[in-house]
A and B are shown apart, each in its own frame.
Chain A
Amino acid sequence: MSQKINLSEIDKEIKQLKRTSELLKEKAKLFPSLEKNTSRILASIKMLEINISDIVELDNEQR
């Protein structure tokens, strides 16, 4: 199953998603709805990292 899924491509998108969310959070100092919703998005992105990015990172380290 894992060979059919391009984890590196998915990981790139996860990193992009994280960058975007962090940028939004930086702009949210006086904007609670933006800050708290992006914080929650980042918590979900962390789940993508532990599901996918950690494996990609391990794979890269082992090469």
Chain B
Amino acid sequence: MSSESSYWNPVLETLPFVTIRALQLKKFKRIFSWAYDHSKFHRALYDEVGIKPEDIQSFAHIRQIPTVEKSMMRDIQGKDPFPYGDALCVSLNEVTAYRQTSGTTGQPVYQPDTWQDWEWWAECWAQLLWAQGYRPKDRVFIPFGYNVFVAFWAGHYGAEKIGCEVVPGGVLDTRARILKIQELNATAMMGTPTYMLGMADTAINEMNINPADLTIEKITCAGEPGASIPSTKKRIEEAWGAKVYDHAGATEIGAWSFECTEQPGGMHVNDAFFLAEIVDVETGEIIEEPGVRGKMIITAFDRHAQPCIRFDSKDIIEWDAEPCLCGRTSRLIKGGVVGRTDDITKVKGVLFAPSSVEDVVRGIEGLGNDYELKVEKINDREKITLQVEYLHNSSEEIDKIKSKLSDQLRLKTNLNYEIEFCRYGELPRYPVKAKRFKDLRK
């Protein structure tokens, strides 16, 4: 039956939403008690505000529980039980895997996991890959560096759990990876949007291989919001001749969200395994209504070694008003993760999300995939510069592109830009996650 089912778990994924909410409350109480009883860090945090496990009887009670910031996790690590500190809920003998965050926003955070936690990681991924059409017949190529960062490790084990044949693309360079995909007729792949576009560029420009002629049918993207940015998704899909699906997860949280094969313009939250709450960035008030953006506070119900309870993810999301046609009853977040609170900044008095520039740049034919963005302050005047690469254009075409780019950027972001054109290949390339935005005002 399972190979015929559209759902990895036909029960959990189609529960009436009212039942999902009851399940969430039950599971929240369980993980809160676990953390309170086993982690000195969590107990101290909750004792400080006088909240005990038996006090939690409703979602209103949950909202009173203090959130956990990444900086708090950084503060406790490096101490006993070494190196994780006192949020560790199991003995060190039970810890079977070490991972850490990528360090994009500062000192990496250590993440201990037990066998059970790893089974759970793989379970979350199995569910999302199944929803994206992965089946045992797939040969999944994973072009990822298999190191201390969690990245696609759990994707590897999730694909194995489904029964796919997994090909670890570990230390191979980009060319060798492309040749391996060609040699083995791999049908699916996982990577950051930046790397998926970079691989396609290498195949076309350095190897004379059209990636769309290879056998990749589907790509799961994570690590950056690109696969939910329409123009980036389109470019990856066209380059590889494959369907591209987004996924959002984090080392401290788990694999909490995914796009399904319906490509509904957003991602499902795995509501049976996580409680995602959206709060107003300024007031901290809970946002229940669709279409209103806020930051996500998230709880993982089944993660035991180092629990994730009301973690301030800093991801900006909004609920979608419409259910997904796939039949899953879990909630959708519209447009995926649309930004991060630590990325959004004011430029010339206007709130600015760098990811909105990506959609414009990659939506214009004649421009390359890569771009760089910087904000400077010159004599008290803020200046925002966008560098883009042109592809084989005449100066007349460049003028047209420049005008189109300026108009669309102004429309989308309410800002005027200095636009600089570079030759193809001049701008930096990023192997995994791109850091294209530089705020030089600080």
CB distance from B154 to the nearest CB of A (A): 13
Chain A contact surface mostly? helix
Contact across chains for A2 and B302 when beta carbons are under 8 A apart = no
User: For the complex, is B26 an interface residue (Cβ under 8 Å from A)?
Assistant: yes
Q: Complex Cα distance A37/B399, Å? A: 67
Is A19 part of the binding interface, using a Cβ–Cβ cutoff of 8 Å?
Answer: no
**CB-nearest residue of chain A to B115:** A43
Chain A residue nearest to B11 in the complex (CB) = A2
The answer to whether residues A46 and B119 also contact, given A1-B10, A55-B11 and a CB cut-off of 8 A, is: yes
| CB-contacts of A8-63 with B (<8 A) | 39-40, 42-44, 46-47, 50-52, 54-55, 57-58, 61-62
Given A43-B119, A47-B120: A54 in contact with B11 (beta carbons within 8 A):
no
Among B19, B115, B118, B301, the most chain A Cβ lie within 10 Å of the Cβ of: B115
Q: Are A52 and B11 in contact (CB under 8 A)?
A: yes
Q: In the complex, which range does the number of interface residues on chain A fall in?
A: 20 to 34
State whether the Cβ of B123 lies closer than 8 Å to any Cβ in chain A. Answer: yes
Is the beta-carbon distance between B26 and A1 smaller than 8 angstroms? no
Number of interface residues of B (CB under 8 A): 23
Q: Given A54-B27, A62-B22, decide whether A2 and B115 contact each other with a Cβ distance below 8 A.
A: no
C-alpha gap A57/B23 in the complex (Å):
10
CB of A43 within 8 A of CB of B11, answer: no
CB distance from A36 to the nearest CB of B (A): 9
- List A contacts of B27 (CB < 8 A): 54
Does B299 count as interface, using CB distance less than 8 angstroms? no
A9 to chain B, nearest CB (A): 13
Main secondary structure of the interface of B (DSSP, over half): helix
Q: Mark B263-298, 1 if CB is under 8 A from A, else 0.
A: 000000000010000000000000000000000000
Interface contact A54-B23, CB-CB below 8 Å: yes
User: Cα distance A40–B123 when bound, in Å?
Assistant: 14
Instruction: Check B210 for interface membership: any CB of A closer than 8 A.
Output: no
Whether B114 contacts A43 by the Cβ 8 Å rule is yes
Report which of B12, B115, B273 forms a contact with A40, defined as CB distance below 8 A.
Answer: B115
Cα–Cα distance between A36 and B26 once the two chains are bound (Å): 30
> In the bound complex, do residue A44 and residue B23 qualify as a contact, i.e. CB atoms below 8 Å apart?
no
Which residue of A5, A39, A44 contacts B11 across the interface (Cβ within 8 Å)?
A5
Given the known interface contacts A2-B11, A43-B115, A51-B12, the answer about A58 and B120 at a Cβ–Cβ threshold of 8 Å is: no
Q: Is B9 an interface residue (CB 8 A)?
A: yes
Residue B182 is within 8 A (CB to CB) of chain A in the complex: no
- Please report which residues of chain B, range 1-43, place their CB below 8 angstroms from some CB of chain A when the two chains form the complex: 5, 7, 9-12, 14-15, 19, 22-23, 26-27
Known contacts: A2-B14, A5-B10, A61-B26. The answer to whether A50 contacts B116 by CB under 8 A is no
CB of B14 within 8 A of CB of A1, answer yes
- Could you list some 7 contacts between A and B, CB below 8 A? A5-B11, A50-B123, A50-B302, A52-B11, A55-B11, A58-B23, A61-B26
The 10 closest A-B pairs by CB, nearest first: A43-B116, A43-B115, A1-B10, A43-B119, A2-B11, A47-B123, A46-B116, A47-B119, A51-B9, A50-B302
